[in-house]
Amino acid sequence: MLLANGNIYLDYNSTTPIDPMVYEAMEPYYHSHFGNASSNHSLGKYNREAIDFAREQVAGLVGCKPEEIIFTSGGSESNNMALKGIAAKQGGQGQHIIVSKIEHPAILNVVQYLQHQGFRISYLPVDTQGVVQADDLEEIITSKTILVSVMHANNEIGSIQPINELSEYAHEAGALFHTDAAQSVGKIPVDVSDLGCDLLTLAGHKLYAPKGVGAIYIKEGVDMEPLIHGANHENGLRAGTENVAQIVGLGMAAEIAAQKLESEMLRQQNLRDRLQASLKQAFPEIRVNAGNTPRLPNTLSVSFAQLNALEILANLDEVLVSAGAACHSADGKGSGVLEAMQIPLNYQLGTIRITLGRFCDEALVQQASAILIKRISLLL
């Protein structure tokens, strides 16, 4: 995406711009359609119908029933709702929860909180490509395990996890299965029946909807405690007057994503692979993380042994990418994801993440590639 100031935006895994069609769909609900969806008058009923339609749109993207979609404020709330909600309701059956080592902080920090509440937390390792192995889950899971949570696709490196296989193991042991699909929904096919999950998180700002809106899929029959108590909104599972405009935006974003899914997967993967080949040709010694496993088609994580990611970013004013590791040169710490993959620290600290999106075209990516190669070459 070319920004107004001429910079090239290649950080779509951090957040996406709002699609113009999404913005257009939202706009009336900030003005003429501002009513409370719980009101019984015509304006309230109009907004209730808008929410119901958005619920159908989101359900259509992930293959579930509309009533199994609960709207939230975003991915972090959905993850908190899943883990804390199941822990509160199912904790009497066992206090063991399993997550992977490469989860987003919106999972890892939640289980740290639950550990302080008396729950026992186990962490699944990953292989050198950043993938959880089902055999490791089989070794860790017990009859006391109430929940397994493994992200569908990793936000840093893009590795896609074998969720259907992992959820099968969880169910055989009597545990529920949650997946954080914030990075995968809208980028690759996501169907809750195929994945076999009981709960699934999605975030609006990862698929061209606004920040501050998301959803959680809760399979019919799953019993959990609400995270937010109050009035009986969202089938009693999420109190608070609905943010109609943003919910409408999420619904439209889901519909657009479903329509464009196959074509955008192929287009973005082609652009990503060309960019990867260009960087590899210019810098033969770089490491491509998760390069030998299925990964998100838009995601490219590369590591330089002799450079620091923050130094690279400081010299890339025109191209907006991110440090692939949550690294801080001052304390010398690298990414927990890359560490779990047993990548040496110098490579961890020299990792950048380049992520493409709907508003990237071939000319823009070629331009970005040339700038990246030029600027990084000056640092070597």
Please say if the pLDDT value at position 93 is more than 90: no
Question: Is 64 considered catalytic here?
Answer: no
| Mean per-residue pLDDT, 166-173 | 97
According to CATH, where is 3.90.1150.10 located in the chain? 8-17+261-379
- Give tens-digit pLDDT for 328-378: 444 556 789 999 999 999 999 999 999 999 999 999 999 999 999 999 999
Which residues, at least 6 apart from 174, have a Cβ–Cβ distance to it below 8 Å?
Answer: 143, 145
C-alpha dihedral over 216, 220, 224, 230, to 10 degrees?
Answer: 70
Lowest mean pLDDT among 100-109, 212-221, 234-243: 234-243
Q: What is the pLDDT of residues 277-302, one digit of tens each?
A: 999 999 999 999 999 999 999 999 99
Q: What angle do CA 365, 366, 368 make, to 5 degrees?
A: 60
Of 64, 197, 327, 360, which residue is the catalytic one? Answer: 327
In 266-279, which positions are buried (b, 16+ CB within 10 angstroms) versus exposed (e)?
Answer: ebbbebbeebbebb
Contact (CB, 8 A) for 206 and 16 = yes
Beta-bridge mates of residue 153? 160
> How far is residue 96's CA from residue 180's CA, in Å, rounded to a whole number?
19
| CATH of region 8-17+261-379, choose from 3.90.1150.10, 3.30.70.890, 3.40.50.300, 3.60.15.10 | 3.90.1150.10
314: which DSSP letter? H
pLDDT of residue 329: 43
Alpha carbon distance 280, 195 (integer Å): 34
| Beta strand 199-203 pairing with 176-180 | parallel
Q: What is the pLDDT averaged over residues 102-111?
A: 97
Mean pLDDT rounded to a whole number for the chain: 95
Domain with CATH 3.40.640.10 in the chain: 20-256
What digits encode the pLDDT tens for the residues 210-231?
Answer: 999 999 999 999 999 999 999 9
Correct CATH for 20-256 of 2.60.120.330, 3.40.640.10, 3.30.1180.10, 1.10.260.40: 3.40.640.10
